Chain A
Amino acid sequence: MNFTLKIWRQKNANAKGSFQTYPLKDVSPEMSFLEMLDYLNNQLISQGKEPVTFEHDCREGICGSCGLYINGRPHGPQRSTTTCELHMRDFKDGETIVVEPWRSKAFPVIKDLIVDRSSFERIMHAGGFVNVNVGCAPESNSSPIGKLIADKVFDAAVCIGCGACVAACKNSSAMLYAAAKIAQYAMIPQGKVEAKERVDKMVKQMDTEGFGFCSNTYACEFDCPKGISTDFIALMNREFFSSKACKQKHA
């Protein structure tokens, strides 16, 4: 297969970037999107040119580092797929493929296609954890959780923090990410203890980072590689309002 690649190149965070066009020949349809970029980079290196920088780690769809904005869709044209799981057979032979980094004020570009997603980390640091006394793992049957709830919690916990929700949102809002991280604790006994405090702190941090506000377009759910439901956003809103309404003053 032959492709024309239009890729965003940017030397560093402060440099002004631009699109560069690379014709690429003899691409195997069985290559993953990242393997295709490796193939391009090998050619660039042999020509003595700077290779295209992109983030990747596990290459099996669970680490969340390989987010690329491909032809107007985060992680490309396939649903429920990360960029590394995308294959070149999903494109038409001779197609022009435009590759851009995530665009958001809270995700500044570091180099080429890599963005700084530490704003997500800071949302987690604000309250995305459960405080427990260290020691032996507690007996699992001591806090029974219904199957339905357990499944729902898992549906939220599959979030890999890739940032596709922000990239897909016309408002570049991080509501789906924050909602998934809040929901994975809010429904189970271990997390309920600090639920009100958690939602308060995490939402506050999300707003500080400069993400946009949610207007319920549900683009995030459509482009989430893990198919996380926007129902969790409603759950977060519910938690948030109840936290605000029931907040106790410290003595």
Chain B
Amino acid sequence: MALAGMFLMIFLIFHLATNLLMLAGDGGKAFSEAVTFLSESPLIKVMEYVLFAGFLIHILLGVILQLHNYRSRPVKYHTRLRSETSTFSRFMFHTGVIIFVFLVIHLINFFFIRLGWVPQPDYAAHKHDFYSVAVVLFKNPWYTAIYLVSFVFLGFHLKHAFQSSFQSLGLNHTKYTPAIKVIGTIYALGISVGFAIIPVYFLFFY
């Protein structure tokens, strides 16, 4: 769970870095070049399968964890648990489900075009032209709203996930754990805000 999650968190950094090239102001030239380069790199081709495995393991383990934990308390409490815990930690499965739904929408919007599962729209110059696809997609306020809401929940998920993954792997230290918690908050905020800038930019400023 933690290892797969950590791998996905590293992936998000690369994903965001590539996406931010869209804001270069060159009509998507730098971004498209990066996408074409990445999709033709043999390393990335291998990593795509690893990434798929990472998502699969993380999602499957999450579902197994949730089912097992649900069954561990066959008779529920009458009064809701009032122990003080971080809010996000209690809703990891729920935020996870929202992110999964978003992931499916997101794959249909972009990745499946490259695979040829979704027909290439007329406005896309070629199957790697995600820039044109993004421009059209985010001009639609509904899609922008779906993406923004998903990023908020992604942020909630990551806020707990970052420090939790260290704890699960036993990487805990009186000296470094407070720093890990701070970095986790910055990371969660950075990822969700970073991704959110792109649809907002296309909707209002493009």
Contact = CB atoms under 8 A, between A and B. Distances in A.
B170 A170 contact: no
A171 B89 contact: no
Interface in B75-89: 75-86, 89
A37 interface: no
A98 B82 CA distance: 13
Interface string A96-110: 001010011110010
Contacts of B81: 72-73, 168, 170, 219
A97 B10 CA distance: 48
A238 B79 contact: no
Contacts of B169: 237-238, 241
A21 interface: no
B92 A215 contact: yes
A230 B69 contact: no
Chain B, interface SS category? loop
Contacts of A215: 65, 69, 89, 92, 164
Interface residues of B, number: 34
Chain A, interface SS category? mixed
B167 interface: yes
B172 A217 contact: no
Given A210-B72, A216-B164, A100 B78 contact: yes
A215 B70 CA distance: 12
Interface string B141-184: 00000000000000000001001101111111010010000000
B172 A234 contact: yes
B71 A231 contact: no
A132 to B, nearest CB: 28
B74 interface: yes
B69 to A, nearest CB: 4
Contacts, number: 110
Interface string B16-57: 000000000000000000000000000000000000000000
Q: How large is the interface on A (under 10, 10 to 19, 20 to 34, 35 or more residues)?
A: 35 or more
B72 A212 contact: yes
B194 to A, nearest CB: 25
A100 B71 CA distance: 19
Given A215-B65, A216-B89, A219-B85, A100 B77 contact: yes
A193 B79 CA distance: 45
Contacts of B163: 216
Interface in A182-214: 210-214
A222 B85 CA distance: 8
A72 B79 contact: yes
Interface in A72-101: 72-74, 98, 100
A177 interface: no
Contacts of A69: 77, 79
Interface of B: 65, 68-69, 71-86, 89-90, 92, 160, 163-164, 166-172, 174, 177
Q: 3 closest pairs, A vs B, by CB?
A: A238-B170, A234-B172, A212-B72
